[in-house]
Structure 1
Amino acid sequence: MEQSKLRTIPLEKLELWEEANVRKDNTYDNIRDLARNIKKNGLQAPLLVKEKDRKYFVFSGQRKLAACRMINMKGIPCFVFKDIKEVRAKILSLSENIYREKMTREDKSNAAASLYKQLKSISAVAKALGVKEKTVRGYLDYEAMPDKLKDFARGKGLTTKQVEDIYMKFSDTSKALTIARKLSRIDDRNKKRKMHIAIQQASMFDNAATIEKRADKLSKMKPYRIILSSKDSEVIEFIAKKRNLDGKEMLVEITEGWIRGFMEGNS
């Protein structure tokens, strides 16, 4: 394991190590809010940097670095590594970010794919990141997805989960795009949920028309009422916003995920 030392580094000596940073999307969203928070409360988590030729290259904490520059913070607390390799830096960068909702599915998938190319093993990537092999496979599946299909989860009306379900069910890209397009055009939440369920229940040979007919035959969804604390509600709304959902859709996704895990014996 690489040894690191906690040091305070002058702002002007810090540079971004682009190749080792795993966060690529939405990098500077809400950066002003982060800068205000750091100015008020200080930097709570040090940056991770590599020291080379009296310069310091940041491989985890690029948002914090940008925020510190915005407020002209003079000295930055950093964990300094001297002999760290790029692959190990990527592992640490992804490990730091992987459970933060602000890091997109795309970032995580790209980083996992990059590590897989170097480590050559799903189990090795899972061990390095401290996640299950199933999680790594999910990242790799998403990385392999055609960009045209990913676009539906980039602000075109579908969630990442919906797009993944379509991709995993239909290997024919043309068919997958047709079904994704159909689902994205449904505005009514109840109808959209039924269509999504019909997609999950479909066979790879079904076409869009067959899936639509099955969705129409599904029984009406049963409503449930849930009361959350204001703190929990804020968390739900925050995560939902990052996933292009509203709060109710986020709760449905969380509940369905828990039910699947329970049925598979994981809860």
Structure 2
Amino acid sequence: MSNYQANEIKLINTSLIDPHPDNPRKNIGDVTDLAASIKANGLLSPLSVVPNGERYRVIAGHRRLAACKQAGTGAVPCFVLDLDPLQQLEAMVTENCQREQLTVLEEADAIQGMLDLGATTASVAHRLGRSGDYVRDRAKAASIDNEVRAVRDDFSQLTIGQLVAIARYDGRPDLQKKLAQAAGTSNFDYTLRRIERDDRERQWIESVAALLVEPANGFNLIPDPSTGTPEETIEKIREQNPAAVSIHMEQVYLWTRRDHAADDEKEARRAAEQAERDARRHALEEYAAASADKRMAWLHANLYGIKRAQLIETTARLGLLQIIDPFPDGFTDALTNWNDHTGSREEYEKITGITAEDAPTAARISLQTNDWPLEAASILAARFEWFIDPTDWTTVNDTSRRIPGYYQILQDLGYTPADDETSHLDQLIHAISEADQRDEENNQ
């Protein structure tokens, strides 16, 4: 769970263990299946708890605790830790981030909680294995008031970019609500640019107004009536104070009006272009999900029928394909870490038919039998499927460079790509070749 060492491990009745009030994850979800598994097999992984008077608070294992209580489990094994409040929050944030269970907003609130308890940005970044900017962005997102968060039920699902943009207008809930309502749609960028432009104009007008009202300048500030045509407005200002208007002010005023119209045209074009990009991204996401399901369905239906010798060769090829990690603890993450990670369990279930909950136990048992090549190939394929993201089909990176090799391995086993897969694969191979050529030219 963390680098914190347990002082002791002991059996504690679940009736004496409470959820931690500062748990970053606000919704633990449905634990019915987990409760059934615990009822049948017992709790395989101990909980981590801290003393709280005569009771205990869970640090790691909130879902397991809820499942144990639902299953009617009595005493369960627990690691008893001695942690101060900051360490407790650090441990919960670290565990949840490793499991990828927190929404961006939950993580942001938890990080702000750590900062409130005295942690520095650098220490939080080090603890989470993230950059300082990563921590600072989430601290900004945590500043968004509940009044703004209540604008939509799915506010916690917004991206960090959207949240940072909303947080930028702290103290102006009207603008924050407008941005929150537009988030997740093609209108978000358009709305943000309009607000940014209006804000720049407001600041410019305020600075000019401050200059004009200085007694030493000899100018009087006349408010814009904002009615009629520009010519009618200027005439009205002349009527109020002829000495306050010059040909230069008319030119600035008329330019500002025309600039608004030009900006509106640009914004409309940008909004249309963004909508087109969103549509392409949505289509790509649908394709990536469909092609992944197709591959794993084929593996589920055919992998068990492959000869043992070919499975051993496939395992070696998949292992070599994944041997250079895109990032630490990536493709070759130890099998024992399945207790702490959800990564690739769902893909493993689609390939083997074994439930994600039972994946670690089933995998360990199968790897000790004569059928280990089938199990190893299933695990490695599941790990690779887990890492493929829709953007990997259009962006040259460590993962995308492995996709052609992965398809070659599948085709050698008998898999036949569909036409759309072949088309996307050809485009990706072409993009990789171009990127390699650019790198070679830059290095000459």
Instruction: Pick the TM interval, shorter chain.
Output: 0.5 to 0.7
Partner of 1:88: 87
Partner of 2:35: 35
Q: What pairs up with 1:179-258 in 2 under 5 angstroms? A: 179-182=179-182, 192=185, 194-198=186-190, 204-206=196-198, 211=267, 214-216=270-272, 220-221=276-277, 222=280, 223-224=283-284, 225-226=287-288, 227-228=291-292, 229-230=295-296, 255=391
| Residues 50 and 80, structure 1, Cα contact 8 Å, conserved in 2 | yes
Q: Report how far residue 9 of structure 1 moved.
A: 1.3
| Residues 7 and 80, structure 2, Cα contact 8 Å, conserved in 1 | yes
| 1:7 counterpart letter in structure 2 | I
Distance in 2, Cα, partners of 1:45 & 1:154: 34
1:245-267 CA distances to partner (integer Å, 9 max, x unpaired)? xxxxxxxx9639x96x99xxxxx
Distance in 2, Cα, partners of 1:152 & 1:136: 25
Q: Report how far residue 112 of structure 1 moved.
A: 0.9
Q: Are 1:106 and 2:105 counterparts?
A: yes
1:123-165 CA distances to partner (integer Å, 9 max, x unpaired)? 0111233332222122211111132433356336973357425
Partner of 1:97: 96
How many residues are treated as equivalent by the alignment? 234
Quote the sequence identity (%): 20
Which has the larger displacement, 140-149 or 167-176? 167-176
Q: Which structure ranks higher in relative contact order (CA pairs < 8 Å, sequence separation ≥ 6)? A: 1
Q: Secondary structure at the match of 1:220?
A: helix
Q: Report how far residue 117 of structure 1 moved.
A: 1.5
Closer, same or farther: CA 71–196 of 1 in aligned 2, 3 Å:
same
Q: Report how far residue 200 of structure 1 moved.
A: 6.7
| Residues 35 and 71, structure 1, Cα contact 8 Å, conserved in 2 | yes
Q: Secondary structure at the match of 1:94?
A: helix
Partner of 2:16: 14
Closer, same or farther: CA 86–206 of 1 in aligned 2, 3 Å:
same
| Residues 15 and 58, structure 1, Cα contact 8 Å, conserved in 2 | yes
Which has the larger displacement, 131-140 or 169-178? 169-178
| Residues 10 and 76, structure 1, Cα contact 8 Å, conserved in 2 | yes
Partner of 1:67: 67
Which consecutive unaligned segments of at least 5 residues does structure 2 have?
200-263, 298-343, 348-388, 399-444
Q: Are 1:132 and 2:131 counterparts?
A: yes
Partner of 2:27: 26
1:14-69 CA distances to partner (integer Å, 9 max, x unpaired)? 322634x4235213x20223212323444343211124666433222222112111
Partner of 2:386: none
Closer, same or farther: CA 176–211 of 1 in aligned 2, 3 Å:
farther
Q: Report how far residue 97 of structure 1 moved.
A: 0.9
Distance in 2, Cα, partners of 1:74 & 1:11: 5
What's the TM-score once normalised by structure 1's chain length?
Answer: 0.67
Partner of 1:240: none
Partner of 2:5: 3
Q: Secondary structure at the match of 2:150?
A: helix
Radius of gyration: which is bigger?
A: 2
Distance in 1, Cα, partners of 2:169 & 2:146: 15
CA RMSD in angstroms, aligned pairs only: 4.1
Q: Secondary structure at the match of 1:106?
A: helix
Closer, same or farther: CA 168–211 of 1 in aligned 2, 3 Å:
farther
Distance in 2, Cα, partners of 1:161 & 1:79: 34
| 1:58 counterpart letter in structure 2 | V
Closer, same or farther: CA 14–157 of 1 in aligned 2, 3 Å:
closer
| 1:25 counterpart letter in structure 2 | K
Which consecutive unaligned segments of at least 5 residues does structure 1 have?
185-191, 236-252, 263-267
